[in-house]
Amino acid sequence: MLDAPEEVLLQRNNGKLTDPVTGDIYHQLFIQPENDTIRRRLERRRGPSDEQLLAEMQRYRCEVTALKSAYQHVLKVFNADQPPADVYQQALTFVLLLLTKS
């Protein structure tokens, strides 16, 4: 399970950009395009408002508390407030560790 502070999730939501040609998703701070050609054609993504997102996060937090409790013996929570490559590497390492134990 991925977890990040609400402030981080709001910042990520507000900075999303889409390349209309490829459909690739970027972020104005965290995941920038490789070149100026792509950068010039990026469009701001329309996502939920901060208020809508906060309401969704509140519902999520209520539901995830029960899930964490029910699956605590098999659940791994990863801090998603870091670069995507780091989160991926941690998740991959965890899965590979599980596979070597079986």
User: Percentage of residues in the chain with pLDDT exceeding 70?
Assistant: 100
| Mean pLDDT, all residues of the chain | 93
Q: Do the Cβ atoms of 48 and 56 come closer than 8 Å?
A: yes
Q: In sequence order, which ranges of 15-83 are alpha helices (DSSP H)?
A: 36-41, 50-70
Confidence category of residue 101, pLDDT binned at 50, 70, 90: confident
For 42-100, how does the pLDDT look when each residue is reduced to its tens digit (9 = 90+)? 999 888 899 999 999 999 999 999 999 999 998 999 999 999 899 999 999 999 999 99
* Stated pTM of the model: 0.75
pLDDT per residue over 31-58, tens digit each? 999 999 999 999 998 888 999 999 999 9
For the chain, which residues make up each domain, given as ranges? 2-101
For 2-101, which CATH superfamily applies?
A: P-loop containing nucleotide triphosphate hydrolases (3.40.50.300)
Q: Give the pLDDT score at 63.
A: 93
Query: How far apart are the C-alpha atoms of 52 and 5, rounded to whole Å?
Result: 16
User: In Å, what is the CA distance from 87 to each residue of 34, 56, 82, 91?
Assistant: 21, 23, 7, 6
